[in-house]
Structure 1
Amino acid sequence: MAHAEFGPAVRRWRDRVPPEAAGLPSGGQRRAAGLRREELALLAGISVDYVTRLEQGRASHPSAQVVEALARALRLSGAERAHLFRLAGLAPPGPETVPAYITPSVQRLLDRLAGTPVAVYDASWTLLTANAPYAALMGDPSGWRGNERNGVWRNLVGPGSPVRHTPQERRAFEAGLVADLRAAADRYPADPRLRRLVADLRAAGGRFAELWDAGAVGTHEAARKTIDHPHVGAVTLDCDVLTVAGSDLRIMVYTAEPDSEDAERLAMLTVLGTQALTG
Protein backbone atom coordinates (compact mmCIF):
# COMPACT_ATOMS: atom_id res chain seq x y z
CA MET A 1 0.00 0.00 0.00
CA ALA A 2 2.86 2.34 0.83
CA HIS A 3 4.36 1.87 -2.65
CA ALA A 4 1.08 3.03 -4.20
CA GLU A 5 1.36 6.31 -2.30
CA PHE A 6 4.91 7.08 -3.44
CA GLY A 7 3.96 8.58 -6.82
CA PRO A 8 1.10 10.78 -5.54
CA ALA A 9 3.35 12.07 -2.75
CA VAL A 10 6.07 13.04 -5.24
CA ARG A 11 3.46 14.78 -7.39
CA ARG A 12 2.01 16.74 -4.46
CA TRP A 13 5.43 17.89 -3.33
CA ARG A 14 6.44 18.74 -6.91
CA ASP A 15 3.40 20.99 -7.24
CA ARG A 16 4.32 23.03 -4.19
CA VAL A 17 7.92 23.92 -5.26
CA PRO A 18 7.97 27.10 -7.39
CA PRO A 19 10.67 26.90 -10.07
CA GLU A 20 12.34 30.13 -8.96
CA ALA A 21 12.86 28.59 -5.50
CA ALA A 22 14.96 25.90 -7.18
CA GLY A 23 16.95 28.40 -9.22
CA LEU A 24 15.03 27.72 -12.44
CA PRO A 25 13.36 30.26 -14.77
CA SER A 26 9.65 30.69 -14.06
CA GLY A 27 8.57 32.10 -17.42
CA GLY A 28 6.25 30.52 -19.97
CA GLN A 29 2.78 29.10 -19.58
CA ARG A 30 2.34 26.70 -16.68
CA ARG A 31 -0.64 24.60 -15.70
CA ALA A 32 0.57 24.65 -12.08
CA ALA A 33 2.84 26.83 -10.01
CA GLY A 34 5.21 23.98 -9.14
CA LEU A 35 7.99 22.16 -10.92
CA ARG A 36 7.47 20.42 -14.24
CA ARG A 37 8.47 16.78 -14.44
CA GLU A 38 11.46 17.61 -16.61
CA GLU A 39 12.59 20.21 -14.06
CA LEU A 40 12.35 17.73 -11.19
CA ALA A 41 14.26 15.20 -13.29
CA LEU A 42 17.00 17.77 -13.97
CA LEU A 43 17.30 18.71 -10.31
CA ALA A 44 17.32 15.09 -9.15
CA GLY A 45 19.66 13.83 -11.88
CA ILE A 46 17.27 11.14 -13.15
CA SER A 47 15.40 10.73 -16.42
CA VAL A 48 12.05 12.37 -17.13
CA ASP A 49 10.66 8.98 -18.13
CA TYR A 50 11.59 7.54 -14.74
CA VAL A 51 9.94 10.45 -12.89
CA THR A 52 6.80 9.87 -14.99
CA ARG A 53 6.75 6.14 -14.25
CA LEU A 54 7.29 6.75 -10.54
CA GLU A 55 4.45 9.26 -10.36
CA GLN A 56 2.12 7.01 -12.31
CA GLY A 57 2.97 3.95 -10.22
CA ARG A 58 4.53 2.11 -13.18
CA ALA A 59 7.94 1.96 -11.49
CA SER A 60 8.40 0.50 -8.04
CA HIS A 61 11.25 -0.01 -5.60
CA PRO A 62 13.30 3.14 -6.34
CA SER A 63 16.80 2.97 -4.90
CA ALA A 64 17.82 4.88 -1.80
CA GLN A 65 19.97 7.09 -4.03
CA VAL A 66 16.96 8.04 -6.18
CA VAL A 67 14.77 8.70 -3.15
CA GLU A 68 17.49 10.88 -1.61
CA ALA A 69 17.86 12.83 -4.85
CA LEU A 70 14.09 13.37 -5.09
CA ALA A 71 13.90 14.49 -1.46
CA ARG A 72 16.69 16.97 -2.10
CA ALA A 73 15.15 18.32 -5.31
CA LEU A 74 11.72 18.61 -3.67
CA ARG A 75 13.22 20.42 -0.67
CA LEU A 76 11.62 18.11 1.81
CA SER A 77 11.91 18.56 5.54
CA GLY A 78 13.57 15.86 7.61
CA ALA A 79 10.20 14.31 8.52
CA GLU A 80 8.98 14.44 4.90
CA ARG A 81 12.20 12.86 3.67
CA ALA A 82 11.86 10.01 6.17
CA HIS A 83 8.24 9.54 5.06
CA LEU A 84 9.27 9.35 1.39
CA PHE A 85 11.83 6.66 2.22
CA ARG A 86 9.17 4.64 4.02
CA LEU A 87 6.74 5.03 1.09
CA ALA A 88 9.49 3.55 -1.11
CA GLY A 89 9.73 0.58 1.24
CA LEU A 90 13.12 1.71 2.52
CA ALA A 91 14.40 2.51 5.99
CA PRO A 92 15.38 6.19 6.31
CA PRO A 93 19.19 6.54 6.37
CA GLY A 94 20.59 6.20 9.86
CA PRO A 95 23.75 7.45 11.58
CA GLU A 96 25.80 4.59 10.11
CA THR A 97 25.43 5.92 6.54
CA VAL A 98 27.12 8.90 4.91
CA PRO A 99 24.78 11.90 5.36
CA ALA A 100 23.33 13.16 2.09
CA TYR A 101 20.50 15.34 3.43
CA ILE A 102 20.68 19.02 2.58
CA THR A 103 18.78 20.81 5.32
CA PRO A 104 16.43 23.73 4.52
CA SER A 105 18.89 26.14 6.14
CA VAL A 106 21.76 24.95 3.92
CA GLN A 107 19.44 25.12 0.92
CA ARG A 108 18.63 28.76 1.76
CA LEU A 109 22.36 29.47 1.88
CA LEU A 110 22.76 27.94 -1.58
CA ASP A 111 19.83 30.03 -2.86
CA ARG A 112 21.59 33.20 -1.72
CA LEU A 113 24.70 32.14 -3.66
CA ALA A 114 22.78 31.63 -6.89
CA GLY A 115 25.22 33.81 -8.86
CA THR A 116 28.32 32.04 -7.52
CA PRO A 117 29.62 28.60 -8.57
CA VAL A 118 28.65 26.30 -5.69
CA ALA A 119 28.51 22.52 -5.32
CA VAL A 120 27.66 20.36 -2.33
CA TYR A 121 29.44 17.04 -1.73
CA ASP A 122 28.99 14.41 0.94
CA ALA A 123 31.82 13.04 3.10
CA SER A 124 32.87 10.59 0.38
CA TRP A 125 33.15 13.40 -2.20
CA THR A 126 30.02 12.31 -4.02
CA LEU A 127 28.30 15.28 -5.67
CA LEU A 128 24.86 15.94 -4.21
CA THR A 129 23.92 19.14 -6.00
CA ALA A 130 25.50 21.89 -8.08
CA ASN A 131 24.08 25.18 -9.29
CA ALA A 132 24.10 26.51 -12.84
CA PRO A 133 27.23 28.70 -12.43
CA TYR A 134 29.15 25.68 -11.14
CA ALA A 135 27.96 23.62 -14.11
CA ALA A 136 29.02 26.41 -16.46
CA LEU A 137 32.47 26.56 -14.85
CA MET A 138 33.26 22.88 -14.30
CA GLY A 139 31.01 21.07 -16.77
CA ASP A 140 27.37 20.04 -16.54
CA PRO A 141 27.01 17.15 -14.04
CA SER A 142 23.32 16.49 -14.70
CA GLY A 143 24.09 13.44 -16.85
CA TRP A 144 26.53 11.86 -14.39
CA ARG A 145 25.41 8.58 -12.85
CA GLY A 146 26.75 6.29 -10.15
CA ASN A 147 30.50 6.55 -9.59
CA GLU A 148 30.70 9.35 -12.17
CA ARG A 149 29.30 11.67 -9.48
CA ASN A 150 32.15 10.89 -7.10
CA GLY A 151 35.10 13.29 -7.11
CA VAL A 152 37.63 10.65 -6.11
CA TRP A 153 36.53 8.41 -8.96
CA ARG A 154 36.46 11.20 -11.52
CA ASN A 155 39.92 12.47 -10.63
CA LEU A 156 41.76 9.17 -10.11
CA VAL A 157 39.93 6.81 -12.49
CA GLY A 158 37.59 8.85 -14.68
CA PRO A 159 38.02 11.82 -17.01
CA GLY A 160 39.34 14.27 -14.39
CA SER A 161 38.37 17.92 -14.22
CA PRO A 162 39.30 21.13 -16.04
CA VAL A 163 41.39 22.28 -13.06
CA ARG A 164 45.05 22.80 -13.94
CA HIS A 165 47.65 21.22 -11.60
CA THR A 166 51.41 21.12 -11.48
CA PRO A 167 52.73 17.58 -10.90
CA GLN A 168 53.37 18.41 -7.23
CA GLU A 169 49.90 19.92 -6.80
CA ARG A 170 48.38 16.90 -8.49
CA ARG A 171 50.08 14.46 -6.12
CA ALA A 172 48.98 16.44 -3.06
CA PHE A 173 45.43 16.79 -4.41
CA GLU A 174 45.07 13.07 -5.06
CA ALA A 175 46.54 12.14 -1.68
CA GLY A 176 44.09 14.51 0.03
CA LEU A 177 41.11 13.01 -1.77
CA VAL A 178 42.12 9.45 -0.89
CA ALA A 179 42.79 10.41 2.73
CA ASP A 180 39.38 12.07 2.95
CA LEU A 181 37.74 8.93 1.58
CA ARG A 182 39.61 6.75 4.07
CA ALA A 183 38.42 9.00 6.91
CA ALA A 184 34.82 8.68 5.66
CA ALA A 185 35.17 4.90 5.45
CA ASP A 186 36.42 4.87 9.05
CA ARG A 187 33.46 6.99 10.24
CA TYR A 188 30.82 5.06 8.28
CA PRO A 189 32.06 1.45 8.07
CA ALA A 190 28.52 0.06 7.64
CA ASP A 191 27.60 2.23 4.64
CA PRO A 192 27.14 -0.23 1.72
CA ARG A 193 27.46 2.41 -1.03
CA LEU A 194 30.72 3.67 0.44
CA ARG A 195 32.09 0.12 0.69
CA ARG A 196 31.15 -0.50 -2.96
CA LEU A 197 32.82 2.74 -4.03
CA VAL A 198 36.08 1.83 -2.28
CA ALA A 199 35.95 -1.69 -3.75
CA ASP A 200 35.37 -0.31 -7.25
CA LEU A 201 38.23 2.16 -6.88
CA ARG A 202 40.62 -0.49 -5.62
CA ALA A 203 39.59 -2.85 -8.42
CA ALA A 204 40.42 -0.11 -10.95
CA GLY A 205 44.00 -0.17 -9.66
CA GLY A 206 46.38 2.61 -10.61
CA ARG A 207 46.97 5.69 -8.50
CA PHE A 208 44.05 5.11 -6.09
CA ALA A 209 45.13 1.61 -5.15
CA GLU A 210 48.70 2.82 -4.69
CA LEU A 211 47.64 5.66 -2.36
CA TRP A 212 45.06 3.59 -0.50
CA ASP A 213 47.44 0.72 0.18
CA ALA A 214 50.13 3.19 1.24
CA GLY A 215 47.76 4.72 3.82
CA ALA A 216 47.83 8.19 2.27
CA VAL A 217 47.19 10.98 4.77
CA GLY A 218 46.23 14.59 4.20
CA THR A 219 43.14 16.69 3.57
CA HIS A 220 41.53 18.39 0.62
CA GLU A 221 42.37 22.02 1.29
CA ALA A 222 41.13 25.34 -0.01
CA ALA A 223 43.34 26.79 -2.73
CA ARG A 224 43.55 29.07 -5.70
CA LYS A 225 42.71 27.04 -8.77
CA THR A 226 43.07 27.70 -12.47
CA ILE A 227 40.28 26.24 -14.58
CA ASP A 228 40.85 25.83 -18.31
CA HIS A 229 37.45 26.76 -19.72
CA PRO A 230 36.68 25.92 -23.37
CA HIS A 231 34.97 29.25 -24.09
CA VAL A 232 36.67 31.94 -21.99
CA GLY A 233 40.11 30.46 -21.44
CA ALA A 234 41.95 30.13 -18.13
CA VAL A 235 40.13 31.44 -15.06
CA THR A 236 41.96 31.62 -11.71
CA LEU A 237 39.63 31.53 -8.72
CA ASP A 238 39.69 30.99 -4.98
CA CYS A 239 38.15 27.63 -4.06
CA ASP A 240 36.91 27.38 -0.48
CA VAL A 241 35.47 24.21 1.01
CA LEU A 242 33.04 24.86 3.87
CA THR A 243 31.91 22.04 6.12
CA VAL A 244 28.47 21.80 7.71
CA ALA A 245 28.68 20.84 11.38
CA GLY A 246 26.91 17.62 12.22
CA SER A 247 26.37 16.47 8.64
CA ASP A 248 29.83 16.12 7.04
CA LEU A 249 28.57 18.02 3.99
CA ARG A 250 31.21 19.95 2.01
CA ILE A 251 30.13 23.15 0.28
CA MET A 252 32.60 24.06 -2.47
CA VAL A 253 32.51 27.73 -3.46
CA TYR A 254 34.48 29.42 -6.28
CA THR A 255 35.00 33.19 -6.13
CA ALA A 256 37.10 35.74 -8.04
CA GLU A 257 38.88 38.83 -6.84
CA PRO A 258 36.53 41.81 -7.39
CA ASP A 259 37.09 43.88 -10.56
CA SER A 260 39.68 41.45 -11.88
CA GLU A 261 39.92 39.89 -15.34
CA ASP A 262 39.08 36.57 -13.72
CA ALA A 263 35.88 38.09 -12.30
CA GLU A 264 34.94 39.26 -15.80
CA ARG A 265 35.64 35.82 -17.27
CA LEU A 266 33.64 34.15 -14.50
CA ALA A 267 30.68 36.45 -15.14
CA MET A 268 30.91 35.80 -18.88
CA LEU A 269 31.08 32.01 -18.66
CA THR A 270 28.25 31.97 -16.13
CA VAL A 271 25.98 33.85 -18.52
CA LEU A 272 27.05 31.73 -21.49
CA GLY A 273 26.78 28.49 -19.57
CA THR A 274 23.43 29.31 -18.00
CA GLN A 275 21.96 30.17 -21.39
CA ALA A 276 23.21 26.87 -22.79
CA LEU A 277 21.81 24.91 -19.87
CA THR A 278 18.35 26.49 -19.86
CA GLY A 279 17.91 27.34 -23.52
Structure 2
Amino acid sequence: MSPTDLRLPMNAAAGGRRRATGLRREELAGLAGISADYLTRLEQGRATSPSVQVVESLGRALRLPDAEHDLLYRLAGHAAPARDVVPSRITASVQRLLDRLANTPVAVYDATWTLLVANAPYDALMGETSTLRAIERNAIWRHLVGPGTRAVQTPEEHADLEAGLVADLRLSAARYPADRTLTRLVKELAAQSPRFVELWESGAPDPRQEQSRHKIIDHPAVGRITLDCDILVVAADDVRIMVFTAEPGTEDAERLALAVVLGTQTLVEQ
Protein backbone atom coordinates (compact mmCIF):
# COMPACT_ATOMS: atom_id res chain seq x y z
CA MET A 1 0.00 0.00 0.00
CA SER A 2 1.14 3.50 -0.73
CA PRO A 3 1.25 5.87 2.25
CA THR A 4 -0.25 8.55 0.02
CA ASP A 5 -3.33 6.36 -0.45
CA LEU A 6 -3.90 6.67 3.30
CA ARG A 7 -3.01 10.39 3.38
CA LEU A 8 -0.07 9.67 5.67
CA PRO A 9 2.58 12.41 5.93
CA MET A 10 5.55 11.98 3.61
CA ASN A 11 7.73 14.78 4.96
CA ALA A 12 10.67 14.72 7.32
CA ALA A 13 8.36 14.39 10.30
CA ALA A 14 7.36 10.99 8.92
CA GLY A 15 10.91 9.81 8.52
CA GLY A 16 12.11 11.27 5.23
CA ARG A 17 12.93 9.21 2.13
CA ARG A 18 11.73 5.62 1.97
CA ARG A 19 14.03 2.78 0.99
CA ALA A 20 11.06 0.62 0.02
CA THR A 21 7.47 1.14 -1.04
CA GLY A 22 4.58 0.47 1.28
CA LEU A 23 3.89 1.23 4.92
CA ARG A 24 6.45 1.37 7.69
CA ARG A 25 5.87 -0.78 10.75
CA GLU A 26 5.11 2.30 12.83
CA GLU A 27 2.52 3.49 10.31
CA LEU A 28 0.74 0.13 10.09
CA ALA A 29 0.83 -0.25 13.87
CA GLY A 30 -0.71 3.21 14.26
CA LEU A 31 -3.46 2.45 11.74
CA ALA A 32 -4.22 -0.87 13.44
CA GLY A 33 -4.10 0.56 16.97
CA ILE A 34 -1.34 -1.77 18.20
CA SER A 35 2.22 -1.12 19.29
CA ALA A 36 5.06 -1.18 16.75
CA ASP A 37 6.94 -3.56 19.07
CA TYR A 38 4.08 -6.07 19.03
CA LEU A 39 3.79 -5.80 15.24
CA THR A 40 7.53 -6.48 14.96
CA ARG A 41 7.21 -9.56 17.18
CA LEU A 42 4.32 -10.82 15.02
CA GLU A 43 6.39 -10.24 11.90
CA GLN A 44 9.36 -12.12 13.34
CA GLY A 45 7.31 -15.00 14.70
CA ARG A 46 8.05 -14.19 18.35
CA ALA A 47 4.35 -13.49 18.95
CA THR A 48 2.25 -16.31 17.54
CA SER A 49 -1.27 -15.94 18.92
CA PRO A 50 -2.76 -12.58 17.92
CA SER A 51 -6.28 -12.03 19.18
CA VAL A 52 -9.29 -11.76 16.90
CA GLN A 53 -9.34 -8.02 17.60
CA VAL A 54 -5.71 -7.62 16.47
CA VAL A 55 -6.30 -9.67 13.32
CA GLU A 56 -9.39 -7.66 12.45
CA SER A 57 -7.55 -4.38 13.05
CA LEU A 58 -4.65 -5.43 10.82
CA GLY A 59 -6.97 -6.57 8.06
CA ARG A 60 -8.88 -3.31 8.25
CA ALA A 61 -5.71 -1.21 8.25
CA LEU A 62 -4.41 -3.06 5.18
CA ARG A 63 -7.83 -2.84 3.48
CA LEU A 64 -7.76 -6.53 2.62
CA PRO A 65 -10.40 -7.87 0.21
CA ASP A 66 -12.74 -10.59 1.45
CA ALA A 67 -10.64 -13.61 0.43
CA GLU A 68 -7.43 -12.23 1.94
CA HIS A 69 -9.30 -11.05 5.03
CA ASP A 70 -10.55 -14.60 5.67
CA LEU A 71 -7.10 -16.05 4.90
CA LEU A 72 -5.51 -13.75 7.49
CA TYR A 73 -7.91 -15.11 10.12
CA ARG A 74 -7.04 -18.71 9.23
CA LEU A 75 -3.29 -18.01 9.25
CA ALA A 76 -3.66 -16.54 12.72
CA GLY A 77 -5.47 -19.64 13.94
CA HIS A 78 -8.98 -18.18 13.99
CA ALA A 79 -12.14 -18.97 12.10
CA ALA A 80 -13.25 -16.23 9.73
CA PRO A 81 -16.17 -14.22 11.17
CA ALA A 82 -19.53 -15.85 10.57
CA ARG A 83 -22.67 -14.03 9.56
CA ASP A 84 -24.19 -14.47 13.01
CA VAL A 85 -21.65 -12.16 14.68
CA VAL A 86 -21.50 -8.38 14.63
CA PRO A 87 -19.70 -7.22 11.46
CA SER A 88 -16.56 -5.25 12.16
CA ARG A 89 -15.20 -4.83 8.65
CA ILE A 90 -14.80 -1.60 6.74
CA THR A 91 -15.81 -2.70 3.25
CA ALA A 92 -14.23 -1.26 0.14
CA SER A 93 -17.31 0.82 -0.67
CA VAL A 94 -17.45 2.31 2.83
CA GLN A 95 -13.71 2.97 2.70
CA ARG A 96 -14.15 4.89 -0.57
CA LEU A 97 -16.78 7.00 1.14
CA LEU A 98 -14.42 7.68 4.05
CA ASP A 99 -11.64 8.63 1.63
CA ARG A 100 -13.90 11.24 0.07
CA LEU A 101 -14.62 12.68 3.52
CA ALA A 102 -10.95 12.83 4.49
CA ASN A 103 -11.19 16.51 5.52
CA THR A 104 -14.40 16.05 7.51
CA PRO A 105 -14.62 14.62 11.05
CA VAL A 106 -15.86 11.06 10.59
CA ALA A 107 -16.01 7.99 12.85
CA VAL A 108 -17.35 4.52 12.11
CA TYR A 109 -19.00 2.30 14.75
CA ASP A 110 -20.20 -1.28 14.60
CA ALA A 111 -23.63 -2.48 15.74
CA THR A 112 -22.52 -2.50 19.41
CA TRP A 113 -21.39 1.13 19.15
CA THR A 114 -17.76 0.10 19.39
CA LEU A 115 -15.47 2.43 17.47
CA LEU A 116 -13.94 0.80 14.40
CA VAL A 117 -12.08 3.74 12.92
CA ALA A 118 -11.90 7.52 13.21
CA ASN A 119 -10.09 9.86 10.85
CA ALA A 120 -7.61 12.58 11.81
CA PRO A 121 -10.16 15.45 11.66
CA TYR A 122 -12.41 13.51 14.05
CA ASP A 123 -9.55 13.04 16.49
CA ALA A 124 -8.71 16.74 16.15
CA LEU A 125 -12.30 17.66 17.02
CA MET A 126 -13.20 15.04 19.64
CA GLY A 127 -9.84 13.94 21.05
CA GLU A 128 -7.34 11.18 20.23
CA THR A 129 -8.93 7.77 19.70
CA SER A 130 -5.94 5.62 18.71
CA THR A 131 -4.97 5.08 22.35
CA LEU A 132 -8.40 3.71 23.32
CA ARG A 133 -8.38 0.01 24.11
CA ALA A 134 -11.01 -2.70 24.60
CA ILE A 135 -14.20 -1.39 26.23
CA GLU A 136 -12.87 2.18 26.14
CA ARG A 137 -13.74 2.17 22.44
CA ASN A 138 -17.42 1.57 23.17
CA ALA A 139 -19.61 4.68 23.06
CA ILE A 140 -22.16 3.26 25.49
CA TRP A 141 -19.46 2.63 28.10
CA ARG A 142 -17.98 6.09 27.57
CA HIS A 143 -21.33 7.77 28.23
CA LEU A 144 -22.51 5.55 31.09
CA VAL A 145 -19.25 4.74 32.88
CA GLY A 146 -16.29 6.48 31.27
CA PRO A 147 -15.25 10.08 30.74
CA GLY A 148 -17.90 10.95 28.17
CA THR A 149 -17.03 13.14 25.19
CA ARG A 150 -16.50 16.81 24.36
CA ALA A 151 -20.17 17.16 23.45
CA VAL A 152 -22.10 19.55 25.71
CA GLN A 153 -25.58 18.25 26.60
CA THR A 154 -28.41 19.04 28.96
CA PRO A 155 -29.33 16.28 31.43
CA GLU A 156 -32.41 15.51 29.31
CA GLU A 157 -30.35 15.26 26.11
CA HIS A 158 -27.83 13.01 27.81
CA ALA A 159 -30.58 10.74 29.17
CA ASP A 160 -32.14 10.47 25.70
CA LEU A 161 -28.75 9.62 24.20
CA GLU A 162 -28.13 6.89 26.79
CA ALA A 163 -31.58 5.42 26.20
CA GLY A 164 -31.13 5.45 22.43
CA LEU A 165 -27.73 3.78 22.55
CA VAL A 166 -28.93 1.03 24.89
CA ALA A 167 -32.03 0.48 22.76
CA ASP A 168 -29.86 0.08 19.67
CA LEU A 169 -27.67 -2.40 21.54
CA ARG A 170 -30.76 -4.39 22.52
CA LEU A 171 -31.70 -4.66 18.85
CA SER A 172 -28.17 -5.77 17.98
CA ALA A 173 -28.26 -8.41 20.71
CA ALA A 174 -31.48 -9.76 19.20
CA ARG A 175 -29.91 -9.87 15.71
CA TYR A 176 -26.67 -11.51 16.84
CA PRO A 177 -27.53 -13.86 19.74
CA ALA A 178 -24.47 -16.05 19.03
CA ASP A 179 -21.95 -13.22 19.26
CA ARG A 180 -19.92 -13.89 22.41
CA THR A 181 -18.18 -10.52 22.28
CA LEU A 182 -21.54 -8.74 22.32
CA THR A 183 -22.75 -10.93 25.19
CA ARG A 184 -19.59 -10.16 27.14
CA LEU A 185 -20.02 -6.42 26.48
CA VAL A 186 -23.56 -6.52 27.88
CA LYS A 187 -22.32 -8.30 31.01
CA GLU A 188 -19.49 -5.80 31.50
CA LEU A 189 -21.82 -2.83 31.09
CA ALA A 190 -24.32 -4.37 33.51
CA ALA A 191 -21.57 -4.97 36.09
CA GLN A 192 -20.31 -1.40 35.89
CA SER A 193 -23.44 0.70 35.34
CA PRO A 194 -26.72 0.57 37.30
CA ARG A 195 -28.11 3.00 34.72
CA PHE A 196 -27.41 0.46 31.98
CA VAL A 197 -29.22 -2.26 33.94
CA GLU A 198 -32.18 0.06 34.43
CA LEU A 199 -32.42 0.88 30.72
CA TRP A 200 -31.75 -2.69 29.59
CA GLU A 201 -34.36 -4.27 31.86
CA SER A 202 -37.05 -1.63 31.46
CA GLY A 203 -36.77 -1.47 27.68
CA ALA A 204 -35.41 1.75 26.21
CA PRO A 205 -37.42 3.74 23.67
CA ASP A 206 -37.08 3.23 19.94
CA PRO A 207 -33.67 4.70 18.98
CA ARG A 208 -35.05 5.71 15.59
CA GLN A 209 -37.18 8.43 17.15
CA GLU A 210 -36.35 11.93 15.99
CA GLN A 211 -33.45 13.49 17.87
CA SER A 212 -31.66 16.77 17.38
CA ARG A 213 -28.76 16.65 14.96
CA HIS A 214 -27.19 19.73 16.50
CA LYS A 215 -24.23 19.07 18.78
CA ILE A 216 -22.20 21.59 20.77
CA ILE A 217 -18.58 20.52 21.00
CA ASP A 218 -16.43 22.13 23.70
CA HIS A 219 -13.03 22.15 22.02
CA PRO A 220 -10.08 22.93 24.34
CA ALA A 221 -8.34 25.21 21.82
CA VAL A 222 -11.11 27.01 19.93
CA GLY A 223 -14.03 26.95 22.34
CA ARG A 224 -17.57 25.80 21.68
CA ILE A 225 -18.61 24.81 18.16
CA THR A 226 -22.20 24.12 17.13
CA LEU A 227 -22.26 21.39 14.49
CA ASP A 228 -24.61 19.07 12.69
CA CYS A 229 -24.01 15.44 13.61
CA ASP A 230 -25.46 12.97 11.12
CA ILE A 231 -25.35 9.22 11.65
CA LEU A 232 -25.54 7.21 8.45
CA VAL A 233 -26.37 3.53 8.82
CA VAL A 234 -25.01 1.19 6.15
CA ALA A 235 -27.61 -1.55 6.40
CA ALA A 236 -25.73 -4.22 4.44
CA ASP A 237 -22.66 -3.90 6.69
CA ASP A 238 -24.52 -2.88 9.88
CA VAL A 239 -22.13 -0.03 10.62
CA ARG A 240 -22.85 3.53 11.73
CA ILE A 241 -20.97 6.44 10.15
CA MET A 242 -20.92 9.57 12.31
CA VAL A 243 -20.22 12.79 10.39
CA PHE A 244 -19.74 16.29 11.84
CA THR A 245 -20.30 19.30 9.59
CA ALA A 246 -20.90 23.03 9.91
CA GLU A 247 -22.89 25.40 7.72
CA PRO A 248 -20.45 27.02 5.26
CA GLY A 249 -19.56 30.63 5.87
CA THR A 250 -20.46 30.61 9.56
CA GLU A 251 -18.30 31.25 12.59
CA ASP A 252 -18.80 27.61 13.56
CA ALA A 253 -17.37 26.51 10.20
CA GLU A 254 -14.31 28.68 10.81
CA ARG A 255 -13.85 27.25 14.30
CA LEU A 256 -14.22 23.71 13.01
CA ALA A 257 -11.61 24.33 10.32
CA LEU A 258 -9.24 25.80 12.91
CA ALA A 259 -9.76 22.88 15.28
CA VAL A 260 -8.97 20.42 12.48
CA VAL A 261 -5.83 22.32 11.44
CA LEU A 262 -4.56 22.60 15.01
CA GLY A 263 -5.31 18.96 15.77
CA THR A 264 -3.86 17.45 12.62
CA GLN A 265 -0.69 19.53 12.94
CA THR A 266 -0.25 18.17 16.46
CA LEU A 267 -0.84 14.62 15.24
CA VAL A 268 1.84 14.98 12.55
CA GLU A 269 4.36 16.41 15.01
CA GLN A 270 3.84 13.47 17.34
TM-score range with shorter-chain normalisation?
over 0.9
Q: Which amino acid aligns with 1:224?
A: H
- CA-to-partner distance for each residue in 1:90-143, whole Å, 9 max, x for gaps? 000011110011111111110111100001100000000000000001110000
| Equivalence for 1:223 | 213
After the TM superposition, which residues 1-279 of structure 1 pair with which residues of structure 2 at under 5 Å, given as runs?
17-27=1-11, 28-219=16-207, 221=211, 223-279=213-269
Distance 1:203 1:170 in 2: 21
| Contact residue 176 and residue 217 of structure 1 kept, 8 A | yes
CA distance in 1, matches of 2:111, 2:193: 22
Q: Which amino acid aligns with 2:3?
A: P
Indicate how the Cα distance of structure 1 residues 155 and 79 shifts in structure 2: closer, same or farther if over 3 A, else same: same
Question: In the TM superposition, what is the alpha-carbon distance from 1:246 to its structure 2 partner?
Answer: 1.1
Give the drift of 1:23.
2.4
Counterpart of 1:240 in 2: which secondary structure? strand
Larger displacement relative to structure 2 (221-230 or 128-137): 221-230
What TM-score comes out, normalization by structure 1 length? 0.92
Identity of aligned residues (%): 63
Shift of 1:168: 1.1
> Take 2:156 and 2:236, find their aligned partners in 1: how far apart are those partners?
33
Are the counterparts in 2 of residues 41 and 48 from structure 1 also a CA contact under 8 Å?
yes
Q: Larger deviation: 31-40 or 112-121?
A: 31-40
- For 1:20 and 1:266, locate their aligned partners in 2 and report how far apart those are by CA, in whole Å: 24
- Give aligned pairs, total: 263
Instruction: Please give the alpha-carbon distance, in whole angstroms, between the structure 2 residues aligned to 1:194 and 1:38.
Output: 30
Distance 2:21 2:249 in 1: 38
Following the alignment from structure 1 to structure 2, what is the Cα–Cα distance between the partners of residues 26 and 104?
A: 24
In the alignment, the residues of structure 2 paired with residue 276 and residue 258 of structure 1 have an alpha-carbon distance, to the nearest angstrom, of: 25
- The unaligned stretches of length 5 or more in structure 2 are none
**Compared CA separation, residues 222 and 30, structure 1 to 2 (3 A):** farther
Answer yes or no: is the 8 Å Cα contact 1:18–1:34 preserved in 2: yes
Q: Is the 8 A contact 1:222 1:241 kept in 2?
A: no
- Across the aligned residues of Structure 1 and Structure 2, the Cα RMSD in angstroms comes to 1.0
Instruction: Specify the code of the residue in structure 2 equivalent to 1:191.
Output: D
8 Å CA contact 2:141–2:189 kept in 1: the answer is yes
Q: Which runs of 4+ in 1 moved over 6 A?
A: none
| Mean CA deviation greater in 97-106 or 209-218 | 209-218
